[in-house]
Amino acid sequence: MKRTVEPKVLYFGTPVVLISSRNPDGTTNLGPMSSAWWLGYTAMLGMSAGSQTVKNLTERPEAVLNLVDPAMVAALDRIALLTGSTEMSDAKRARGYRYEPDKFGAAGLTRAPSDLVDVDAVLESPINLEGRIEAIFDVGGAGSNLRALEMKIERVHVREDLLMSNDRYIDPLAWDPLIMKFTEYFAGGAPAYASSLARGWQMPPMPLPAN
C-alpha cells in the first residue's frame, strides 16, 4: 500500500559538492550543495538564489566543483550552516546559519590554485572540475527562490588512485562519493556522520553506527 504525502524535502540522494566561486573582493567562497547531476561535460546545479554562491556566479561565472568523499564529511559539516553572505533570510537564520567569510579556514580545508579559472580549488577533494556557468534558470514558478545553473566543465582533475589503467575512465569501485539523502550524509549506502543541516531542517534523529 502507498500513501499520498507531502514530504518536507525531496532530496532522494545526490553527490555532495563544494563549489568554489569568486567573491566581490577576489577571495574564494566555498559553498556546500547537494543537488548536482551531469550530462556529458555539462553539470546542472540546484541552489537558492539567496546564497553567496549564486550571487557570485551570476556576476563572475568561473567555478570549481570540488567533489567530496567520506573522508571529508567532518570538514563539510563544519560549514554546512555557514554562509558567505552578510544578508540572510529569516528562514536561514531560524535553521542556525551564520556568516563566515573564510569557509576554508572554518572547514580546515586547504586552498589549491586552479588551472583555468580564478578561484581556489579544494586540495583534499579527490576530484576537481573547473568550468564556467553558461546559463541560470528560475525553478519552481513565480516567487520561487530556487535556481538551476548550467555549468560547462572545461578541465577535470582526478586523484591517481581513482583512475583505471586507461586515464579516460574513473574506477567506479574506487570512487565512493559522499551522498546527501534527505539532508543526511551517507557513504557506501550507510549513514556516515551526524548532519548539522538535518538538525537545522528539524529532521527526525537518525541512528548512526557506533565508532
- Per-residue pLDDT tens digits for 111-161: 999 999 999 999 999 999 999 999 999 998 888 889 999 999 999 999 999
19 within domain boundaries: yes
Query: Nearest 5°: phi and psi at 47?
Result: -150, 170
82 within domain boundaries: yes
208 within domain boundaries: no
> Cell numbers at residue 147, please?
535556481
CATH code where residue 122 lies: 2.30.110.10
Name which of 2, 62, 66, 75 is nearest 34 in CA terms: 66
Instruction: Provide CB contacts within 8 A for 113, sequence distance 6+.
Output: 120, 121
CA distance 48 to 9: 14
Helices (H), ranges, the chain: 52-59, 73-78, 90-94, 103-107, 196-200
6 within domain boundaries: no
User: 18: pLDDT confidence band, cut at 50, 70 and 90?
Assistant: very high
- Is the pLDDT confidence value at 210 over 70? no
The pTM is what? 0.89
209 within domain boundaries: no
CA distance 50 to 35: 16
151: helix, strand or coil: strand
CA distance 107 to 76: 6
Q: Which amino acid is at 98?
A: R
Domain containing 182 equals 14-200
Highest-scoring range by mean pLDDT, 8-22, 65-79, 182-196: 65-79
Structurally, the chain folds into a number of domains equal to 1
69 within domain boundaries: yes
76 within domain boundaries: yes
pLDDT at 188: 86
207 within domain boundaries: no
User: 207: pLDDT confidence band, cut at 50, 70 and 90?
Assistant: confident
